[in-house]
């Protein structure tokens, strides 16, 4: 089972407590760690977190800097713990605008955990679903120009293969915390048949129990993919 999470509500959580927004982001990281720990027992094979969107560059510079400092700190600090926990980490999104220091840390973590098989963990940084689709279209066009493929080879399966989730497949369940009922440019190619769960809980309050509750609710759903036959959600790997 692949669960993707739009972690929203850090800023409001902190503001409610009269604390700086970045404090909410810091507490939010602990919830990420708990979800990673809980995931294998919950039957989750792949967990994808939306950490920074292509639109989040619109935020004030100090908040952007605090978010990236936090990311880099945890990527460095947790590298060996993740490897020891058998978690394979991949980063999705565009790497072009990231600092060389963060990039080095990300690449180190990806290489360190490349052979792990307990849980696939994707972290979306400078990720936008539209950006991903444009890149896939350009990639396809280039392959046609170079005579590597024909136009008719450009199919849904082809896009799946060149997408950033090619190794783990589309999410079965997308959870958004923080009360909003929108996708905010997350995984828009991949979510065609994902189940969507919108929860009011702000991300820093999202406990492993909340994750388990959503997984349980997902498992009793009927998924028919446009057909009439119910595919057994409880058997989703």
Q: Which is nearer to Mg ion, 171 or 178 (CB)?
A: 178
DSSP letters of 131-196?
A: HHHHHHHHHHHHHHHTTSS-GGG--HHHHHHHSTTTTT---SEEEE-SS--S-TTSSTTGGGG-EE
- The CA-CA-CA angle for residues 207, 209, 214, to 5°, reads 105
The CA dihedral of 188, 189, 190, 191, to the nearest 10 degrees, is: 40
Which DSSP letter does residue 219 get?
H
51 contact, one of ligand IPE, Mg ion, none, CB 5-8 Å limit per kind: ligand IPE
CB 215 within 8 A of CB 173: yes
50 contact, one of Mg ion, ligand IPE, none, CB 5-8 Å limit per kind: ligand IPE
| SS3 state at 92 | strand
Rounded to a whole number of angstroms, the minimum distance from the CB of residue 197 to ligand IPE is 15
Q: Which is nearer to Mg ion, 55 or 65 (CB)?
A: 55
Whole-number Cα distances in Å, 8 to 90, 130, 178, 187? 21, 20, 5, 15
182 contact, one of Mg ion, ligand IPE, none, CB 5-8 Å limit per kind: ligand IPE
Question: Which residue's C-beta sits nearest to ligand IPE?
Answer: 11
Rounded to a whole number of angstroms, the minimum distance from the CB of residue 166 to Mg ion is 28
Site residues for ligand IPE per CB under 6 A:
6-12, 50-53, 56, 67, 178, 180, 182, 184
Site residues for Mg ion per CB under 5 A:
8
Q: Which is nearer to ligand IPE, 10 or 122 (CB)?
A: 10
| SS3 state at 15 | helix
6 contact, one of ligand IPE, Mg ion, none, CB 5-8 Å limit per kind: ligand IPE
> Catalytic: 8?
yes
> Catalytic: 56?
yes
Rounded to a whole number of angstroms, the minimum distance from the CB of residue 124 to ligand IPE is 7
For 30-50, letters b (16+ CB in 10 Å) and e give ebbebbbebbeebebbbbbbb
Q: Which is nearer to Mg ion, 74 or 176 (CB)?
A: 176
Rounded to a whole number of angstroms, the minimum distance from the CB of residue 225 to ligand IPE is 27
User: Active-site residues: which are they?
Assistant: 8, 56
């Amino acid at each position: 089972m692949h669960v993707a999470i739009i972690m929203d509500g850090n800023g409001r959580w902190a503001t409610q407590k009269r604390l700086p927004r970045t404090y909410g982001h810091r507490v939010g990281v602990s919830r990420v760690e708990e979800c990673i720990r809980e995931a294998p027992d919950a039957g989750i094979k792949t967990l994808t977190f939306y950490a920074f969107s292509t639109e989040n560059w619109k935020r004030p510079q100090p908040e952007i800097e605090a978010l990236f400092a936090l990311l880099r700190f945890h990527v460095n600090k947790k590298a060996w713990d993740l490897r020891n926990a058998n978690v394979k980490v991949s980063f999705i999104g565009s790497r072009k605008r990231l600092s060389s220091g963060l990039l080095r840390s990300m690449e180190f973590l990806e290489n360190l955990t490349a052979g792990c098989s307990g849980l696939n963990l994707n972290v979306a940084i400078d990720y936008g679903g539209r950006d991903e689709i444009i890149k896939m279209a350009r990639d396809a066009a280039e392959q046609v120009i170079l005579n590597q493929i024909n136009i008719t080879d450009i199919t849904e399966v082809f896009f799946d293969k060149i997408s950033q989730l090619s190794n783990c497949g589309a999410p079965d369940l997308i959870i958004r915390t923080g009360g909003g009922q929108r996708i905010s440019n997350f995984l828009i190619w991949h979510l065609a048949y994902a189940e969507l769960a919108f929860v009011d809980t702000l991300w820093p309050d999202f406990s492993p129990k909340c994750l388990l509750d959503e997984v349980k609710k997902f498992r009793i759903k009927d998924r028919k993919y446009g057909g009439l036959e119910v595919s057994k959600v409880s058997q989703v790997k």
